[in-house]
């Protein structure tokens, strides 16, 4: 490998882990990326009740931005419960489900100005499970 030439190959983010797995296996079959909708379903089903209520709230108002205060008020979350719910899902999404791409909802802003919204397609999927 000392004299081997290296090349850069553009790879979609969603396929990076599959390419690594392929290279590590030195020719093993590349696993198909799991369907986004299947991952959303799995993540929803494996979520805690407070997280499901958060996702249900976003799904009930697709394409609308909801601020942290509104989310807290509508879900009756305590000051300490809200950060746990809103930070746990993104960590699980990237860790357990190995999703380097976007979350199934949008996040904008920082601190007390942070807001969330869910697109119509994901909202319909969540609503169908609730």
**How do residues 53-90 score in pLDDT, each as one tens digit?**
999 999 999 999 999 889 988 988 877 776 677 788 99
| Residue 118: both structure tokens together | 């869910």
Neighbours of 108 (CB within 10 A): 11
Tell me the range of 8-22, 66-80, 107-121 where mean pLDDT is highest: 107-121
Beta strands in the chain (DSSP E): 66-67, 106-108, 115-117
What distance, in Å, lies between the first and last C-alpha atoms of the chain?
53
pLDDT, tens digit (0-9, with 9 covering 90-100), for 21-48:
666 665 444 445 568 899 999 999 999 9
Q: Residue 91: in which H helix or E strand, if any?
A: helix 81-94
pTM: 0.71
Of 117, 114, 110, residue with least CA distance to 68? 114
């Amino acid at each position: 490998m000392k004299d081997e030439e290296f090349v850069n190959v553009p790879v979609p983010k969603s396929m990076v882990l599959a390419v690594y797995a392929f290279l590590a296996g030195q020719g093993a079959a590349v696993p198909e990326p799991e369907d986004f909708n299947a991952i959303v379903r799995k993540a929803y089903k494996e979520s805690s009740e407070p997280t499901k209520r958060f996702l249900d709230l976003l799904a009930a108002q697709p394409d609308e931005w909801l601020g942290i205060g509104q989310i807290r008020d509508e879900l009756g979350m305590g000051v300490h419960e809200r950060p746990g719910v809103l930070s746990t899902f993104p960590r699980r999404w990237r860790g357990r489900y190995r999703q380097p791409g976007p979350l199934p909802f949008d996040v904008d802003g920082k601190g007390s100005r942070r807001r969330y919204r869910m697109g119509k397609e994901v909202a319909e999927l969540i609503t169908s499970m609730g």
